[in-house]
A = this chain, B = another copy of it.
Amino acid sequence: MKISDLDTPALLVDLDRVEANLHRWEMWCRQRGIRNRPHIKTHKIPELARLQLEYGAVGITCQKLGEAEAMANAGIIDIFLPYNIVGEMKLNRLQALHERVRLRVSADNPTVIAGLAKTAARAGKPLEVMVECDTGMHRAGVPKPADAVELARLIRQQPALRFTGFCTYPWSPEAARFMREAKRLCAQDGIPVTEISGGGTPGMWREEGLEELTEYRAGTFIFNDRIIVASGAATFNDCAATLLLSVVSDAGTSYVTVDGGTKTFSSDLYGQTDYGVVLDDPATTIVRCSEEHGVLQRCGNKPPYRVGEKVRIIPNHACIIFNLHDVAYGVRGDEVVARWNITARGKVQ
Contact = CB atoms under 8 A, between A and B. Distances in A.
Interface of A: 7-10, 41, 63-64, 83-84, 86-87, 89-90, 108-109, 111-112, 134, 137-143, 246-253, 255, 257, 259-260, 262-264, 266-269, 288, 290-293, 295, 306-308, 319-320, 323-326, 346, 348-349
27 contacts: A7-B349, A8-B87, A41-B291, A83-B292, A84-B248, A84-B307, A86-B246, A86-B248, A86-B259, A87-B308, A109-B249, A111-B306, A138-B295, A140-B248, A140-B249, A140-B293, A141-B249, A142-B251, A143-B253, A262-B268, A262-B320, A263-B320, A263-B348, A267-B267, A291-B319, A324-B348, A326-B346
Contacts of A249: 84, 108-109, 139-141
A181 B262 CA distance: 33
A63 B308 contact: no
Contacts of A141: 249, 251
A184 B154 CA distance: 79
Contact of A251 (B134, B262, B266, B267): B134
Given A63-B292, A87-B8, A109 B250 contact: yes
Contact of A292 (B64, B112, B259): B64
